[in-house]
Amino acid sequence: MFAYYLELALRSLKRSPGLTALMVLTIAFGVAASMTTYSVFRAVSGDPIPWKSAKLFVPQIDNWGPNGRGSDGEPPNAMDYNDAITLMRDHRAKLQSAMYQISPSIVPADASKHPINVSGHAVYSEFFPMLDVPFLYGSGWSADDDTQRAAVVVISSKLNQKLFGGSNSVGKTVNVEGKDYRVVGVLNDWNPQPRFFDVVNSGGFSTGVEDVFLPFQRAITVGIPNDGNTNCNAVPTESGFVGLQHSACVWIAYMAELDDAAAATAYKQYLDGYAHDLQQSGHFGWAPNNRLRDLPAWLDNQHVVPSDTKVSLLVALGLLLACLVNTAGLLLAKFLRRSSEIGVRRALGAPRMAIYAQFLTEAGIIGLAGGVLGLLLTGVGVVSVGWVLPKDIAALARVDFSLLTLTLLVAVIATTLAGLYPTFRASRVQPAWQLKSN
């Protein structure tokens, strides 16, 4: 029966090629616009570490008090040096790391080459197992290296390619800021987007790759300065990078792994206890106002998904809706014009369900054709947004199998839905009335 409806539908569509083309184009453009904006939205709203994001938490400590809070009562979104070091020393989570953004220079061994600048983070050893960072060669450094302030470094595969031609460089030395560091690990391709471990400084997304990771205390000792944001509620009383460490300025990101709800509750209690002690000792003139958000909540709180992306998606969905209304109108006119044909079929004993099957097949075919054309337009659209949107975001949007499948599905289902009311009207055609009028 389906083959018969297919034939009927194709014949009907061929009868008015202009109208058919109009409906197919409408669906194609509507679907392509929404799928293109969806591909961008999907790219920026994805979970960067889905298997673990619910276990990763970002603590915030209110070290500025009521005057430093935003209008929403939120504490600062980074930590000062003292709080970060205390949390690291107390070591209450399973795994944790304080970190800050660095941008040191690397001097190539080959004297004929100019020094280069790389970006990275100063982190603790637990950073690597906590974030399941993949290694190509070697591994992260040990907790001993942290306390010893060892001159060790983890480099990206990209930097390894540049400096060592991609060979296993573990044990070799790299000159960072004029001092030699021993390579302990080379990362496999690792470029999570958003840059979830430090969204405050990366602004969420980043075109570059993290090239170096140094032990936190080592970087502090040799004075590799913070390259990320520094926010102060008061001018530091001492000068220089050391002065910054003694100030209440916030510039350090922090992440902790807490495996279950009980651990998270215990950690929150610990944070509040810490702030309470500081209140008791007179350092804080206010009650504890801390936060402990898991990673998805933190990304949401920091507005990692740009509002432009959300508004674009919304507007494009509106466009799709308008296209569907348009298609519904055209299908209605087309179907009702065939009232006499319907009347004959019904009079010859076709049940209402048969009319439904026939006309929904026709709508489905239009949807399928619109979807196929929409696939091409979506491809064009995704390539085009690469030219107009900011590079860090545009680079993430790509066409893949699931996007293609979704495009087709949305086109077919949406068009069939648009065809429902016209089909309902067609199935209500009174056979006797139609036959009489002819």
Partner 1 sequence: MTLHPILAALRKHKAGVVLISLQIALTLAIVCNAVFIIGQRVERVNRPTGLDENDLFLVSQQWVGAPSSDDPAGVEKLDVMQKEDLAALRNLPDVASVTPSNSVPLLNSSWTGSVSIKPGQQLGDKSGTRTAYYFTDEQVLATLGLHLVAGRAFTAADVQHQGARDQRDRPVIIVTQALADKLFPQGSAVGKVIYSDGSSSPSTIIGVVARLQIPSTGSWGNDFAWYSTLVPTRLDSSYARYVVRAKPGRRDAAMHAVPAALYAVNPMRVLDDDESVKSFADIRASAYRADVGMAILMGVVCLILLCVTAAGIVGLTSFWVGQRHRQIGVRRALGARKIDILHYFQIENLLIAGVGVVLGVLLAVGLNMWLMTHYEMTRIPLLYVATGVLAMLAIGQAAVFVPARRASNVPPVEATRAA
Residue pair 207/158 in contact by the 8 Å Cβ criterion: no
**343: closest CA among 352, 333, 330?**
352
Q: Scanning the structure block, which residue is given the tokens 């995704």?
A: 382
* Closer by beta carbon to partner 1, 105 or else 265: 105
Mutual orientation of helices 352-388 and 339-347 as an angle, nearest 10°?
A: 140
CB of 199 to partner 1, least distance (A): 15
Taking CB under 8 A as the criterion, the residue among 109, 143, 287, 315 binding partner 1 is 315
Q: Residues in contact with partner 1, total (CB under 8 A)?
A: 64
Taking CB under 8 A as the criterion, the residue among 9, 13, 35, 37 binding partner 1 is 37
DSSP 232: -
Contact between 128 and partner 1 by CB under 8 A: the answer reads no
Three-state DSSP state, 148 = helix
Taking CB under 8 A as the criterion, the residue among 109, 143, 234, 413 binding partner 1 is 234
Contact between 242 and partner 1 by CB under 8 A: the answer reads yes
Helix or strand holding residue 57 (H, E): strand 56-60
Strands (E), 112-165: 116-117, 120-123, 135-138, 152-155
Residue pair 176/212 in contact by the 8 Å Cβ criterion: yes
What would the x/- binding string for partner 1 be over residues 411 to 430, using CB under 8 A? ----------x---x-----
* Closer by beta carbon to partner 1, 110 or else 144: 110
Contact between 68 and partner 1 by CB under 8 A: the answer reads yes
| Interface with partner 1 in residues 275-314 (CB under 8 A) | 306-308, 310-312
Contact between 30 and partner 1 by CB under 8 A: the answer reads yes
| Interface with partner 1 in residues 94-123 (CB under 8 A) | 103, 105, 107, 114-117
Burial status of residue 402 (CB atoms within 10 A of its CB: 0-12, 13-18, 19 or more): exposed
Length of the chain: 438
DSSP per-residue letters across 283-329: S-SS----EEEEHHHHHHHTT-S-HHHHHHHHHHHHHHHHHHHHHHH
CB of 186 to partner 1, least distance (A): 22
DSSP 22: H
CB of 337 to partner 1, least distance (A): 7
Contact between 376 and partner 1 by CB under 8 A: the answer reads no
What would the x/- binding string for partner 1 be over residues 149 to 188, using CB under 8 A? ----------------------------xx----------
Q: Give the contacts of 399 (CB within 8 A, at least 6 positions apart).
A: 39, 378, 379, 382
- List interacting residues with partner 1 (CB under 8 A): 18-19, 22, 25-26, 29-30, 33, 37, 64, 67-68, 103, 105, 107, 114-117, 177-178, 223, 225, 232-236, 239-244, 306-308, 310-312, 315-316, 318-319, 321-323, 325-326, 328-330, 332-334, 337, 385, 388-391, 394, 421, 425
